[in-house]
Amino acid sequence: MEKILVTGANGFVGNHLIRELTESGYEVVGVGGPVATSTKPDGLSSYIECDLTNPHAVADIDFIGVSGVIHLAGLAAVGPSFDNPLDYINGNIDMEINLFEAALKQSAKPKFVIISSGALYDPKATLPLTEKSGVLPSSPYAVSKIGQEQMALYYCTRGFEVVIVRPFNHIGPGQNLGFIVPDLTQQAVAFENVDLDKITVGNLDAKRDYTDVRDIARAYRLLLEKGKSSEIYNVCSGTSYSGHEILDTILNAVDVHPEIVQDPAKMRPSDTPDIYGSHEKLTTDTGWQPEIPLETTITDVVADWRSRT
């Protein structure tokens, strides 16, 4: 049984990825921050508590016998990066370097899947965005991801197989606040429970490409298996939805009709009107296609938030 190391194992995507990997026959070692035993992801053969920004702590991870590393860990919300640029740029790049260097010192060469972001494309590029589209970082978060990509390509020259992945917006059950779908769903469920008298929103005009996190996890597994080294792959649905469409889908799923109020504090410094990508390269190399429709995803997200109340 091949052993795969997943960083950020106790995060939103990590939980779904662990399930995807274990159901596909892999042994999975999780790496993440301190968590209670009861909240550690199911299906792991072991869990390593580690501050990935600390090179000495990362050096203690045993890479011998690990055939693949899927590096999910990092600061992932675009909005807060505007107020904390150094935290994002230093933290996200440091984590990746520490992992590669630790493996190098152990003479281990697992295949790395580095999770970048579709948020770094030039907002004026022709749609759909492909891996050849230009990049023009519009946030410190995007800058940190470009840095990660460049370091990944450097480590290819050190003998590693490295696949770079640019996922677009991913949504689904288990996602916490700080992103449009959980933020709106939490409010809709609170309105349903008579805990709120209205829903506040930011800019709902912007259109984004959303993919169910379970489809994303399947793409990561397939890229670990079939992705070509030093190549970049988009993971996306190929379709964009406005914030209004997302909100309407949520309200229909919850079956509520609240007052909607725009909150200036929720407006981002930079918001591109429309973004959607092409997954043609991913499909060609791995056979992946998105399978879970938006309505199903939202229904599952609503059920998740109802279970939290």
Q: With contact defined as beta carbons under 8 Å apart, do 133 and 121 qualify?
A: yes
Shared-domain flag, residues 193 and 162:
no
- Whether residue 282 is contained in a domain is answered as no
Shared-domain flag, residues 245 and 129:
no
Query: Which residue did the predictor score with more confidence, 30 or 1?
Result: 30
Q: Which two tokens stand for residue 54?
A: 């600390």
Q: What is the mean pLDDT of residues 99-123?
A: 96
Q: Mean pLDDT in the chain?
A: 95
The CATH number of whichever domain residue 60 belongs to comes to 3.40.50.720
The per-residue pLDDT for range 222-240, each reduced to its tens digit, is 999 999 999 999 999 999 9
- Whether residue 287 is contained in a domain is answered as no
Exposed, middle or buried, 19 (CB in 10 Å: 0-12/13-18/19+)? middle
User: What range defines the domain where residue 18 resides?
Assistant: 3-170+210-235
Query: Which residue did the predictor score with more confidence, 34 or 49?
Result: 49
14-23, 76-85, 211-220, 261-270: which has the minimum mean pLDDT?
A: 261-270
Shared-domain flag, residues 116 and 200:
no
Q: What is the mean pLDDT of residues 135-146?
A: 92
Query: Which residue did the predictor score with more confidence, 30 or 77?
Result: 30
Shared-domain flag, residues 220 and 248:
no
Closest CA to 57 of 48, 65, 66: 48
Query: Which residue did the predictor score with more confidence, 213 or 41?
Result: 213
The pLDDT-based confidence of 270 (bands split at 50, 70, 90) is: low
Q: With contact defined as beta carbons under 8 Å apart, do 211 and 169 qualify?
A: yes
Task: Please tell me the predicted confidence (pLDDT) of residue 271.
Answer: 63
* H or E element in which residue 198 lies: strand 198-201
Alpha-helical segments (H) within 75-212: 78-81, 85-105, 140-156, 180-192
Shared-domain flag, residues 112 and 151:
yes
Shared-domain flag, residues 68 and 202:
no
Task: Please tell me the predicted confidence (pLDDT) of residue 264.
Answer: 83
Residue type, 159: G
Q: How far apart are CA 52 and CA 49, in angstroms?
A: 9
Task: Please tell me the predicted confidence (pLDDT) of residue 299.
Answer: 98
Shared-domain flag, residues 268 and 221:
no
Into how many domains does the chain fold?
2
The per-residue pLDDT for range 123-135, each reduced to its tens digit, is 899 999 999 999 9
Q: What is the mean pLDDT of residues 299-304?
A: 98
The CATH number of whichever domain residue 195 belongs to comes to 3.90.25.10
Provide the sign of the torsion angle of the four alpha carbons 285, 291, 295, 298, taken in this order.
Answer: negative
For the chain, how many residues are written?
Answer: 309
Shared-domain flag, residues 140 and 256:
no
Task: Please tell me the predicted confidence (pLDDT) of residue 212.
Answer: 98
Shared-domain flag, residues 123 and 187:
no
Task: Please tell me the predicted confidence (pLDDT) of residue 267.
Answer: 75
- Whether residue 116 is contained in a domain is answered as yes
- Whether residue 285 is contained in a domain is answered as no
Shared-domain flag, residues 129 and 214:
yes
Shared-domain flag, residues 143 and 247:
no
The per-residue pLDDT for range 182-196, each reduced to its tens digit, is 999 999 999 999 999
The pLDDT-based confidence of 269 (bands split at 50, 70, 90) is: low
- Whether residue 55 is contained in a domain is answered as yes
Q: What is the mean pLDDT of residues 1-14?
A: 95
Shared-domain flag, residues 66 and 203:
no
Query: Which residue did the predictor score with more confidence, 302 or 137?
Result: 302
Percent of the chain scored above 70 by pLDDT?
Answer: 97
- Whether residue 256 is contained in a domain is answered as yes
- Whether residue 251 is contained in a domain is answered as yes
Task: Please tell me the predicted confidence (pLDDT) of residue 36.
Answer: 60
- Whether residue 283 is contained in a domain is answered as no
The pLDDT-based confidence of 75 (bands split at 50, 70, 90) is: very high
Task: Please tell me the predicted confidence (pLDDT) of residue 268.
Answer: 66
